[in-house]
Amino acid sequence: MKMRKLGKELTVSAVGLGCMGMSHGYGGQDEQEAIRTLHRAVDLGVNFFDTAEVYGPFKNEELLGKGLKPFRDKVVIATKFGFRIDPNASDARAMSGLDSRPEHVRDVAEASLKRLGVEVIDLFYQHRVDPNVPIEDTVGAMAELVKQGKVRALGLSEAGAAVIRRAHAVHPITALQSEYSLWTREPEGEILDTCRELDIGFVPFSPLGRGFLTGKIQKPEDFGPDDFRNTLPRFSAENMAANAALVKMLEDMAAQKGVTAAQLALAWVLAQGDFIVPIPGARKIPHLEQNVAATEISLSADELKTLGDLLAPEKFSGTRYAAQAMAWTNR
């Protein structure tokens, strides 16, 4: 497995594993099957695993704590805080807003440590920027956790460049996690340039377009009624039909190269910089193995430009989130 650096603190596999779908958002899966996938990831050299308190909520952290316990010294576990969560609500209704008050940061850290069954959280992200709490106050509380030995490194998610700079001035930020793929490129330009300048790793989530860029999803009926993609504008029947032709071009290019559409899309993300570590989700071992194999794919400058031009984001129909969720991004 090829390795990459996130900031100065963490050395991780070039591809990590986004674990949300094992217990949240996509209908979940059997616990034993999920643990087998986690173990296979370790076998393949993956050492970077991503979770959050809100996934489940809480269930995903517990799953990783159980599944990765035999490999604690070999893995880097990232988790996140930043939402108000009703512990008695269902998956879809658990989040009731943002909360990055310092006292909440401390409380979530203690709870996450227990659920993960670890003595230190390797990477602790603010899940979304809270407009009601100065980022300096939030990162100050996070920095105290580092001093106490409860957290190794700090991260932000879906933050804009100005917020990143303000946060980094309080305590070094190791990683920024945001959505990034062939069809979602908002981080390009100022945000990625800021990460390069400040030596901050960039961790793209949904680098396969929440599965759409694999070519395996054609219509809303291809996923279940509990799948949160039903709430995303890009996954309406009309927009999926409009976007299918673009994915077909990706599949054709992949076939010419002897790889899958998913592997080609992931290789494109990996080629955007050696400070970039995507975390595609995979609930099935064959999909995990394909994602790991993408780290061995080389793309020429011409291939990268052709891919980027053919699948330019403005050619896709539909926004990535509905209005309220979009309001939580790039504060």
Question: Which are the catalytic amino acids?
Answer: 55
By three-state DSSP, how is residue 48 classified? strand
The partner residues of 76 in beta bridges, in order of sequence, read 48
Phi, psi of 276, rounded to the nearest 5 degrees: -105, 130
Per the CB < 8 A criterion, the answer to whether 2 and 34 are in contact is no
- Residue 224, Cβ neighbours under 10 Å: how many? 11
Beta-ladder partners of 48:
76
CA dist 253 and 256 (Å) reads 5
What distance in Å separates the CA atoms of residue 202 and residue 186, rounded to the nearest whole number? 13
Size of the chain in residues: 331
Task: Please state the three-class secondary structure of 282-319 as a single string.
Answer: CCCHHHHHHHHHHHHCCCCHHHHHHHHHHCCHHHCCCC
